[in-house]
Chains A and B, each alone.
Chain A
Amino acid sequence: MQRLVLVGNGMAGVACIEQVLKLAPSFDITIFGDETHTNYNRILLSSVLAGEKSLDEITLHPLDWYVDKGITLRLGVRIVDVDADAKTVTGDDGSVVEFDKLLLATGSSPVIPPIAHASKTGVFTFRNMGDARALLERAGPGVNAVVIGGGLLGLEAARGLQVQGCAVTVIHLVDTLMERQLDPTGGTYLTRKMERLGMRVLLSRRTTAVLGNGHVQGVELADGEQIDADLVVIAAGIRPNADLGRKAGLIVNRGIVVNDYMETSHPDIFAVGECAEHRNVCYGLVAPLLEQGKVLAATITGNRGPVYEGTVEASKLKIMGVDVFSAGDINEAAENESVRHEDPSLGIYKKIILAGGKLKGIVLVGDASESHRYMDWLRTGADLTAKRKHLLFPDPVEDVGFDVAAMPDSETVCGCLGVSKGAIIEAIHAQGMNTMAQLKQVTRASTGCGSCTNLCEQLLRAVAPRFEEETKSTLCACVPFSYEQLRDIVLSQKLKSVQEVLNIYGNRKGCEVCKPALSYMLDMVWCGEHEEDRSARFINDRVHANIQRDGSFSVVPRIRGGVTSPGELRRIADVAEKYSVRMVKITGSQRIDLLGVKKADLPKIWADLGMPSGQAYTKGVRMVKTCVGTDFCRFGVQDSTSAGIELERRLENLYTPHKTKMGAVGCPRNCAEATVKDIGLIGQEGSWQVVVGGAAGKKVRKADLLITVESTAQALEAAELFFQYYRENANYLERTYDFVERTGIEKVRKDTVYAPEPDRKKLLDRLERSKAIAKDAWLERETPFHPTQFTQIEPMEKVLV
């Protein structure tokens, strides 16, 4: 059996081994990796840093895979020498292993520019899983981070650190960010976007020294300016790891030189990936590495024939909300012409470069949605003469399904793995696939940078006989992310309006399902400081009344704790008469409902009532139902009436994922039914039980005990902790009883009443911030949100019928 040794357990090497196994499963394979992790998706390290993926999620080949394939895996061992004549490699642990064929896939290392004291503690590179771990450990709020290098990796690292809470400064040597991929104008657009995310970007600045005594405290620039830093990341480019090639006596320029068959100058030694140099190019992106791997697998297994002829490189910046795409030759040489479109206020810049009617290069900033089309033109060398008028703007497509249908079968869907639309469809038919997981496993499409996931899903949806949605539940087809993901997106991308979320992450339209949910989420995440968009609200929340089956509305004023007064009752009676209210109804929540009110009368009725909104029309704080407690009841042992009124006063005017009904009772007889409320306070001799997650509606559920406390103040605080926790963590339209069941009362307790003091304080602080901004919605009678909010429009002229 031929012994094949792979040095380098990364994406390029292992992908090549996968191909080798397909062609000739008879090799005795040994893989050396100097990292301690099995093969993972290095491209997604920045997604890990940005909190979008966990380290576990980016594993490409788990240990089982190596075992299954009979591969000997040596992790944490660095190969330090190659003897090409004796055909052995030597590890840094002293082990010597013989090979018949040697595959070098050693990748590349970060370039450290000449900066004084660059080895201080707190200076990092961003290249492997260890780096990502170290950065995640140190990054956080209050940490000043400096990133040296404004290229693809530097910017992704910078954004990741910022998402982790750091204040970030990017220092770039030249005057254009990502200058290898962008022209100066594109760079300016990108700079603006990064600055809008809250990052400081310094261009044309050279870092000369890292400052600090042992641990980094800052950096110094060539012009003498000093910038504070607790953490420095150097991302100034990469250099191929070609040392082993030199030691083996191979021809090495910048990288290990390979021909179109991926052969080096030694017949039994091969190189693939970032350490290889093909036709004077060392590639640093994933797509070319995988193409090389396929060719090399053929060569190494004795099927020499396929050739690698180079790759049109395409780069995509992986920062959510910052679309940057670049491919091909973007230099404006004399024989080239460029077609461009700019929209400064939208932050969109598109440029394509043509020569002889063919596409040569692409720069897209702010909107990369068309990148597939351009890449297809670039790869196929399509003649664009006839398309000149529609180069940058295709005919608008109505829905996404049409988009997929319109793609030619030859068009590449997954640029990383080089999978075409035709190949995917063929695989779906041949294998009877119905899930994304199957599609990924069989075709590998979307397993690289992941940017084509949506496209793959659309194809699957269109073609698969029994398409199954991934188990992740998305908020809505309009914006296909889970509720949790969207909450993170909104927070990390600083999105403040519903339309913004829909424009960047959705179908730009939205619907009656996602719009109110997003409205709630923005309000909650930004503690009321979002951009309120009433068009995204259900009618009840536009006019603060409950729409009835005939289009009229109902009015329920707030009667805290169900305690009213003769004066209030008189005003309610007067209003009912004055506006011919069709029904006056005592509700189940100890309040009074005025039914059959015209929209236009709402502001007048609110003014005449002089009472605040009872929020009976919305997903918000309804009421605290109380009993008469110690004031009158001879059994009462706690003053539940005052406690209930105080609780209602503290939480009123706030919004919740679904309606929140509360109760407070003065003894375990439970007359106000606190045990079937979302939050209940149950008085007993010398203490309060605080219960949560009760229900007496469509579902009946006895509330769970959250905590038993001695004082009323403690009971109110426990209620507030749970209330805010529910606000922040429940899905929209999820009642407390579902939320508590889903989460588990143990976890609810641990995260609220039993949480460490600082965490409890944070919850209460956020509640406090929301309360500070919350106000009685019915005050819009004086300052309407929009001048015609409550009005029937009067036409300017009479209609002659």
Chain B
Amino acid sequence: MTRENNWIRITKAENFPLREGRPVSLGGVEIAIFNLGDRFAAIENKCPHQGGPLCDGIVAGTAVVCPLHGWRFDLDTGAATRASLPVCVTIFPTRVEDGIVQVNVNGGSRIEMEDAA
């Protein structure tokens, strides 16, 4: 995968209510973007369990809880917390410029899971 920066301007920051997520499709990649108050977080919008839309989950601090079966993911690392399984979702860097939320769609990263497995 290319690691070149590819910052995509998404939408105005106010389109993301505080502590909620919204879905966006970027070139076929489904991403959930969350407003955490002091920053934005972007993760793959698909729970590795049964594909639940993580954008619709309740935000608990810096984690999001999948609305289907309660799997919980850390928004900073993408790792499933509180789960016995070593799974994760891809996270994407975000930034805000001129009030527009941007996502680096090529900057997706996943934590290494081999150790845990």
B-chain residues with CB within 8 Å of residue A478 when the two chains form the complex: 60
Question: Given known contacts A788-B22, A795-B26, A801-B28, is B50 in contact with A511 (CB within 8 Å)?
Answer: no
Q: Is A538 interfacial (CB 8 A cutoff)?
A: yes
Pick the interface stretch among A122-130, A273-281, A547-555: A547-555
Q: Which of A507, A542, A551, A793 contacts B33 (CB 8 A)?
A: A793
Question: Given known contacts A509-B61, A538-B58, A551-B56, is B11 in contact with A795 (CB within 8 Å)?
Answer: yes
A-chain residues with CB within 8 Å of residue B10 when the two chains form the complex: 793, 795-796
Asked whether, in the complex, the Cβ of B9 is within 8 Å of the Cβ of A795, the reply is yes
Asked whether, in the complex, the Cβ of B20 is within 8 Å of the Cβ of A534, the reply is yes
Q: Is A72 interfacial (CB 8 A cutoff)?
A: no
Asked whether, in the complex, the Cβ of A512 is within 8 Å of the Cβ of B58, the reply is yes
A-chain residues with CB within 8 Å of residue B6 when the two chains form the complex: 799-800
Nearest-neighbor residue (CB-CB) of A797 within chain B: B9
Q: Which of A749-801 contact B (CB under 8 A)?
A: 786-788, 791-801
Asked whether, in the complex, the Cβ of A508 is within 8 Å of the Cβ of B61, the reply is yes
- Scoring B15, B23, B57, B60 by chain A CB atoms within 10 A of each residue's CB, the highest score goes to B60
Q: Which of B11-47 contact A (CB under 8 A)?
A: 11, 15-20, 22-29, 33
Q: Is A382 interfacial (CB 8 A cutoff)?
A: no
Q: How far is the CA of A792 from the CA of B30 in the complex (A)?
A: 11
Asked whether, in the complex, the Cβ of B25 is within 8 Å of the Cβ of A792, the reply is yes
Nearest-neighbor residue (CB-CB) of A508 within chain B: B61
Asked whether, in the complex, the Cβ of A534 is within 8 Å of the Cβ of B17, the reply is yes
Q: Is B67 interfacial (CB 8 A cutoff)?
A: yes
Question: Given known contacts A535-B18, A795-B8, A795-B24, is B70 in contact with A512 (CB within 8 Å)?
Answer: yes
Q: How far is the CB of B104 from chain A (nearest CB, A)?
A: 11
Q: How far is the CB of A550 from chain B (nearest CB, A)?
A: 7
User: Chain A: how many interface residues by the 8 Å CB criterion?
Assistant: 35
B-chain residues with CB within 8 Å of residue A539 when the two chains form the complex: 56-58, 67
Asked whether, in the complex, the Cβ of A797 is within 8 Å of the Cβ of B8, the reply is yes
Label chain A's interface by main secondary structure: loop
Q: How far is the CA of A536 from the CA of B57 in the complex (A)?
A: 10
B-chain residues with CB within 8 Å of residue A508 when the two chains form the complex: 61
Question: Given known contacts A551-B52, A786-B17, A801-B27, is B11 in contact with A536 (CB within 8 Å)?
Answer: no
Q: Is A515 interfacial (CB 8 A cutoff)?
A: yes
A-chain residues with CB within 8 Å of residue B20 when the two chains form the complex: 534-535, 542, 786
B-chain residues with CB within 8 Å of residue A538 when the two chains form the complex: 58, 67
Nearest-neighbor residue (CB-CB) of A540 within chain B: B67
Q: How far is the CA of A514 from the CA of B47 in the complex (A)?
A: 22
Q: How far is the CA of A537 from the CA of B26 in the complex (A)?
A: 27
Asked whether, in the complex, the Cβ of A796 is within 8 Å of the Cβ of B11, the reply is yes
Q: Is B105 interfacial (CB 8 A cutoff)?
A: yes
Question: Given known contacts A508-B61, A538-B58, is B16 in contact with A547 (CB within 8 Å)?
Answer: no
Asked whether, in the complex, the Cβ of B24 is within 8 Å of the Cβ of A511, the reply is no
Question: Given known contacts A534-B20, A551-B51, is B11 in contact with A512 (CB within 8 Å)?
Answer: no
Asked whether, in the complex, the Cβ of A510 is within 8 Å of the Cβ of B60, the reply is yes
Q: How far is the CA of A533 from the CA of B58 in the complex (A)?
A: 12
Q: How far is the CA of A793 from the CA of B68 in the complex (A)?
A: 21
Asked whether, in the complex, the Cβ of B33 is within 8 Å of the Cβ of A515, the reply is no
Q: How far is the CA of A478 from the CA of B100 in the complex (A)?
A: 33
Q: How far is the CA of A510 from the CA of B65 in the complex (A)?
A: 11
Q: How far is the CA of A799 from the CA of B104 in the complex (A)?
A: 10
Q: Write the A475-495 contact mask toward B (1 if CB under 8 angstroms, else 0).
A: 000100000000000000000
Q: Which of B55-113 contact A (CB under 8 A)?
A: 56-62, 65, 67-68, 70, 100, 105
Q: How far is the CB of B1 from chain A (nearest CB, A)?
A: 11
Q: How far is the CA of A792 from the CA of B16 in the complex (A)?
A: 11
B-chain residues with CB within 8 Å of residue A795 when the two chains form the complex: 8-11, 24-26
Asked whether, in the complex, the Cβ of A793 is within 8 Å of the Cβ of B58, the reply is no
Q: How far is the CB of B18 from chain A (nearest CB, A)?
A: 6
B-chain residues with CB within 8 Å of residue A787 when the two chains form the complex: 15
B-chain residues with CB within 8 Å of residue A536 when the two chains form the complex: 19, 58
Q: How far is the CA of A549 from the CA of B66 in the complex (A)?
A: 11
Asked whether, in the complex, the Cβ of A515 is within 8 Å of the Cβ of B58, the reply is yes
Asked whether, in the complex, the Cβ of B11 is within 8 Å of the Cβ of A794, the reply is yes
Q: How far is the CA of A478 from the CA of B63 in the complex (A)?
A: 14
B-chain residues with CB within 8 Å of residue A537 when the two chains form the complex: 58
- Scoring B9, B11, B29 by chain A CB atoms within 10 A of each residue's CB, the highest score goes to B11
Q: How far is the CA of A798 from the CA of B51 in the complex (A)?
A: 25
A-chain residues with CB within 8 Å of residue B24 when the two chains form the complex: 792-795
Q: Which of B9, B15, B51, B60 contacts A550 (CB 8 A)?
A: B51
A-chain residues with CB within 8 Å of residue B56 when the two chains form the complex: 539, 542, 547, 551
Nearest-neighbor residue (CB-CB) of A498 within chain B: B19
Asked whether, in the complex, the Cβ of A512 is within 8 Å of the Cβ of B60, the reply is yes
A-chain residues with CB within 8 Å of residue B68 when the two chains form the complex: 547, 549
Asked whether, in the complex, the Cβ of B15 is within 8 Å of the Cβ of A799, the reply is no
Q: How far is the CB of B3 from chain A (nearest CB, A)?
A: 15
Q: Write the A499-528 contact mask toward B (1 if CB under 8 angstroms, else 0).
A: 000000001111110011000000000000
- Scoring B6, B20, B33 by chain A CB atoms within 10 A of each residue's CB, the highest score goes to B20
Q: How far is the CB of A346 from chain B (nearest CB, A)?
A: 14
Q: Which of A56-85 contact B (CB under 8 A)?
A: none
Q: Which of A227-257 contact B (CB under 8 A)?
A: none
A-chain residues with CB within 8 Å of residue B15 when the two chains form the complex: 787-788, 793
Nearest-neighbor residue (CB-CB) of A539 within chain B: B56
A-chain residues with CB within 8 Å of residue B58 when the two chains form the complex: 511-512, 515-516, 535-539
B-chain residues with CB within 8 Å of residue A542 when the two chains form the complex: 20, 56
Q: How far is the CA of A508 from the CA of B60 in the complex (A)?
A: 9
B-chain residues with CB within 8 Å of residue A794 when the two chains form the complex: 11, 24
Nearest-neighbor residue (CB-CB) of B15 within chain A: A788
Q: How far is the CB of B64 from chain A (nearest CB, A)?
A: 9
Q: How far is the CB of B14 from chain A (nearest CB, A)?
A: 8
Nearest-neighbor residue (CB-CB) of B52 within chain A: A551
Question: Given known contacts A796-B11, A797-B8, is B60 in contact with A511 (CB within 8 Å)?
Answer: yes
Asked whether, in the complex, the Cβ of B27 is within 8 Å of the Cβ of A799, the reply is yes
Nearest-neighbor residue (CB-CB) of A507 within chain B: B61
Q: How far is the CB of A80 from chain B (nearest CB, A)?
A: 62
Nearest-neighbor residue (CB-CB) of B82 within chain A: A511
Nearest-neighbor residue (CB-CB) of B34 within chain A: A535
Q: How far is the CA of A745 from the CA of B49 in the complex (A)?
A: 43
Asked whether, in the complex, the Cβ of B23 is within 8 Å of the Cβ of A793, the reply is yes
Q: How far is the CA of A539 from the CA of B19 in the complex (A)?
A: 13
CB-defined A-B contacts under 8 Å, sample of 15: A508-B61, A509-B60, A511-B60, A537-B58, A547-B53, A549-B68, A787-B15, A788-B17, A793-B10, A793-B33, A795-B26, A796-B100, A798-B27, A799-B27, A801-B27
Interface residues of A (CB under 8 A from B): 478, 507-512, 515-516, 533-539, 542, 547, 549-551, 786-788, 791-801
Q: Which are the 4 A-B pairs with shortest beta-carbon distances?
A: A509-B61, A799-B27, A535-B19, A539-B56
Beyond A539-B67, A551-B53, A793-B24, 5 additional pairs, beta carbon < 8 A: A512-B70, A551-B52, A792-B23, A799-B27, A801-B27
